[in-house]
Amino acid sequence: MLKIVSFVRSVSGRQSALFLKKSSSDITQKCFLSKLTKPSSELQKKCDVLIIGGGGFGSSSAYWLKKRAGDSLNVVVIEKDCTYTRASTPLSVGGLRQQFSCPENIQMSLYGAEFFETIQGHLGDCELNFRPNGYLLLASENGASTLLSNSKLQNELGARNEVLTPEKLKLRYPWINTDGIALGCIGIEKEGWFDPWALLMGFKNTARQHGANYVDGEVIEFGFEKKPEGQKMQKAVVKLTNGDVQSIEFGKCVIAAGACSGQVGKLAGMGTGTGLLSTALPVEPRKRFVYVFDCQGENAPGLKTPLTIDTNGTYFRRDGEGGNYLCGKSPDCTCEPPVDDLEVDFRFFEDEIWPTLAHRVKAFESVKVRSSWAGFYEYNTFDENGIIGRHPYYDNVFIATGFSGHGIQQTPAVGRAIAELIIDGKFKTIDLTRLGFDRIINGKPMPEVHIY
Ligand SMILES: Cc1cc2nc3c(=O)[nH]c(=O)nc-3n(C[C@H](O)[C@H](O)[C@H](O)COP(=O)(O)OP(=O)(O)OC[C@H]3O[C@@H](n4cnc5c(N)ncnc54)[C@H](O)[C@@H]3O)c2cc1C
């Protein structure tokens, strides 16, 4: 087997990824936005809803709250890095699929697809660049029955996918080596990938147009009000980018701080108190690498190739029209890479990813890694699934985090759900009660089988 691998390491994986992935108009938009969001030197004293984190979940929540409540709700979003250098949202690969095992995830992603189809009605001139190529999930003998039952559930809930035998897979995808594959499932509609940066900017710009106030600063502490029944969270202390420290009182607060949500929870006493406060918000950063490789061979998977996920979680998809592909894989939980930086481990590609790619697609035997980046999953160590809903102790605190690698596609549904909880007092469209914090307190995991 011939293997030629060369790496182009840039100053930082993220930068290379951003500039490789984004067109110049995206970059212009980013610069324009940075000007719009000049660091605030003053923080208003009070607001109705304070959102901590202006990434995908925070900005979607701000959008839905302002769209529905207008001027009757004063919404402030605190974002510690308006360039989003380390945020998960712009570093994701922007995949949308319905191939999940948990009904709530299927429903949220179906809504994601509906939202994207009608995006102009929501976010105006937002160029998502959606590629409707579908997902192809491959299963070995061991995984075949799970794939079948999941496909049945997904179709019952409104997704459209088809289960294929190895023979049918080979007919449809001549580049595939079906060794070790018992079944494959291909999404026929409402699956593909999009530009996550465009979605984030769409939410943020529209939320601001509706009157949400974005402030550049970091929440570093909370203030509490003592009540006979316990303490209530009342204000946040914010370190602004000019170094000033100011505080803001809020009626309600949404924790949407991505991979830092566990830390923010700790500031609120989650995991350091007694009773309901003895349980931490179990969300922490986990580094994931994405590699961009080049393959020009005649037998390379073509432009319509779905995002393909192999039996061990290795995935690849096309990235544009120049013969580039993205790929990645989550490491084994015993070999998690350090999270103090966003450096890329190139050996991980060689040792863990390339052998699977080369086995599955002959044309990938000789590939060249052109670029790479790393990003953080906002990883829920309890059950790798989203945590959404009201905190059981603080009835004015709401949580939207922990989606562990499948969150960006669910931002439309989650932002809408947070707005329902705050405005209507309950979930009205998709019932997400089972994904609440209570399951962590009660020790009842809601695992999502299809996490990669
Ligand atoms: C490599 C990779 C690939 C992925 N692929 C996919 C995919 O294909 N499909 C999919 O659906 N999802 C994918 N994801 C997951 C997806 O990116 C995340 O689930 C989603 O973007 C999380 O959004 P968020 O708003 O929680 O986090 P973020 O985007 O990280 O936003 C949180 C924000 O909070 C801010 N913040 C943190 N602490 C504070 C504080 N104390 N004060 C103020 N601000 C604070 C941060 O600066 C950050 O901007 C991927 C993720 C990665 C890393």
Q: Assess whether pLDDT exceeds 70 at residue 139.
A: yes
Question: Whose alpha carbon is nearest atom 51 of ligand 1?
Answer: 92
Of 14, 60, 61, 92, the residue with max ligand 1 atoms within 8 A of its CB, to mutate for a pocket test, comes to 92
Question: Count of H helices and E strands in the chain?
Answer: 14, 17
CB 254 less than 6 A from any atom of ligand 1:
no
CA–CA dist 295, 358 (Å, integer): 12
The model's confidence at residue 41, banded by pLDDT at 50, 70 and 90, is low
| Mean pLDDT to the nearest integer, 46-50 | 98
Question: Whose alpha carbon is nearest atom 24 of ligand 1?
Answer: 258
Q: Assess whether pLDDT exceeds 60 at residue 1.
A: no
CB 405 less than 6 A from any atom of ligand 1:
yes
Residue 155: count of CB within 10 angstroms of its CB: 16
From the CA of 409, give the closest atom in ligand 1.
11
Q: Tell me the helix, strand and coil percentages in the chain, rounded to 5.
A: 35, 25, 40
Q: Assess whether pLDDT exceeds 70 at residue 9.
A: no
Phi and psi based region of residue 313 (left: phi greater than 0; alpha: psi -120 to 50; beta: remaining): left
Q: Assess whether pLDDT exceeds 50 at residue 270.
A: yes
CB 105 less than 6 A from any atom of ligand 1:
no
Give me the CATH code for the 38-92+197-282+382-441 domain, please: 3.50.50.60
* Helix, strand, or coil (residue 11): coil
The Å distance, Cα 149 to ligand 1 centre, comes to 30
Residue 88, phi then psi, degrees to nearest 5: -70, -40
CA–CA dist 244, 223 (Å, integer): 17
| Mean pLDDT to the nearest integer, 199-206 | 98
pLDDT value of position 450: 66
pLDDT value of position 42: 73
pLDDT value of position 38: 52
DSSP letter for each residue of 307-357: EEE-TTS-EEEE-SSSSEEEEE-PPPGGGPPP-SS----HHHIIIIIHHHH
CB 264 less than 6 A from any atom of ligand 1:
yes
pTM score, whole prediction = 0.92
CA–CA dist 312, 17 (Å, integer): 25
The model's confidence at residue 75, banded by pLDDT at 50, 70 and 90, is very high
pLDDT value of position 204: 98
pLDDT value of position 334: 84
The model's confidence at residue 228, banded by pLDDT at 50, 70 and 90, is confident
CA–CA dist 203, 419 (Å, integer): 14
Rg of the chain (C-alpha set): 22
| Mean pLDDT to the nearest integer, 229-243 | 92
Residue 289: count of CB within 10 angstroms of its CB: 24
Of 286, 408, 418, 448, the residue with max ligand 1 atoms within 8 A of its CB, to mutate for a pocket test, comes to 408
Question: Strands 75-79, 46-52: parallel, antiparallel or unpaired by DSSP?
Answer: parallel
Q: Token pair for residue 26?
A: 């995206």
CA–CA distance from 415 to each of 87, 90, 113, 330, 349 (Å)?
A: 17, 17, 15, 27, 35
Q: What angle do CA 342, 345, 347 make, to 5 degrees?
A: 175
pLDDT value of position 22: 37
pLDDT value of position 229: 77
CA–CA dist 404, 137 (Å, integer): 18
* Helix, strand, or coil (residue 33): helix
The residues facing 238 across adjacent strands are: 219, 246
The model's confidence at residue 227, banded by pLDDT at 50, 70 and 90, is confident
CB 328 within 8 A of CB 93: yes
Q: Token pair for residue 91?
A: 């570093």
Q: Assess whether pLDDT exceeds 70 at residue 452.
A: no
CB 279 within 8 A of CB 271: yes
Q: What angle do CA 432, 409, 387 make, to 5 degrees?
A: 35
Spell out the domain ranges in the chain.
38-92+197-282+382-441
pLDDT value of position 183: 97
CA–CA dist 218, 377 (Å, integer): 20
pLDDT value of position 149: 95
Give the burial class of 161: count Cβ atoms within 10 A of its Cβ; 0-12 exposed, 13-18 middle, 19 or more buried: buried
| pLDDT (tens digit per residue) in 343-364 | 999 999 999 999 999 999 999 9
Of 88, 200, 281, 372, the residue with max ligand 1 atoms within 8 A of its CB, to mutate for a pocket test, comes to 88
From the CA of 220, give the closest atom in ligand 1.
41
CB 300 less than 6 A from any atom of ligand 1:
no
> Residue 310: how many CA atoms within 13 Å on its side-chain side?
24
Q: Token pair for residue 214?
A: 């974005």
Q: What angle do CA 433, 388, 207 make, to 5 degrees?
A: 125
The Å distance, Cα 119 to ligand 1 centre, comes to 21
Q: What angle do CA 209, 210, 211 make, to 5 degrees?
A: 90
pLDDT value of position 305: 97
pLDDT value of position 449: 81
| Mean pLDDT to the nearest integer, 159-173 | 98
CB 261 less than 6 A from any atom of ligand 1:
no
| Mean pLDDT to the nearest integer, 327-337 | 92
pLDDT value of position 322: 87
CB 344 less than 6 A from any atom of ligand 1:
no
The Å distance, Cα 216 to ligand 1 centre, comes to 17
pLDDT value of position 231: 84
Q: What is the residue-averaged pLDDT of the chain? A: 91
The model's confidence at residue 40, banded by pLDDT at 50, 70 and 90, is low
Non-local (6+) Cβ contacts of 17 within 8 A are 91, 290, 292, 371, 372, 373
DSSP letter for each residue of 91-153: HS--EE----SSHHHHHHHHHHHHHHHTHHHHHSS-----B---EEEEE-HHHHHHHHHHHHH
CB 329 less than 6 A from any atom of ligand 1:
no
CA–CA dist 76, 248 (Å, integer): 10
Q: Assess whether pLDDT exceeds 90 at residue 71.
A: yes
The model's confidence at residue 3, banded by pLDDT at 50, 70 and 90, is very low
